[in-house]
Amino acid sequence: MVEIPLNVLQLEDSGFHLLVEVIVFGVSFPAVVDTGASKTVLDKTAILSLLDDPSFLQQTSLISTGLGTNTMESFMVELPSLQMSEWKIGPHTWAVLDLSMINDAYSQLSIPPIIGVIGGDLLHPYSAVIDYQKQLMVLQQP
More confident residue, 54 or 106: 106
CB-neighbour burial class of residue 33 (10 A; exposed 0-12, middle 13-18, buried 19+): buried
DSSP one-letter string for 37-67: -SS-EEEHHHHHHH-SSGGGSEEEEEEEEET
The pLDDT confidence band at residue 32, using thresholds 50, 70 and 90, is very high
Backbone angles phi, psi at 86, to 5 degrees: -90, 0
Give the contacts of 26 (CB within 8 A, at least 6 positions apart): none
What is residue 122's three-state secondary structure? helix
Cα separation, 64 vs 70, whole angstroms: 6
Q: Check residue 8 and give its pLDDT.
A: 92
What Å distances lie between residue 96 and 27, 84, 107, 130, CA to CA? Answer: 17, 18, 20, 25
What is residue 101's three-state secondary structure? helix
CATH of domain 2-139: 2.40.70.10
- The number of C-alpha atoms within 13 Å of 48 and in the hemisphere containing its C-beta is 12
What is residue 95's three-state secondary structure? strand
Chain-wide mean pLDDT for the chain? Answer: 89
Q: What does the pLDDT look like over 65-108, one tens digit per residue?
A: 555 545 568 899 999 999 999 999 999 999 999 999 999 988 98
Q: Check residue 77 and give its pLDDT.
A: 94
Give the mean pLDDT of 12-29: 91
Q: Check residue 56 and give its pLDDT.
A: 80
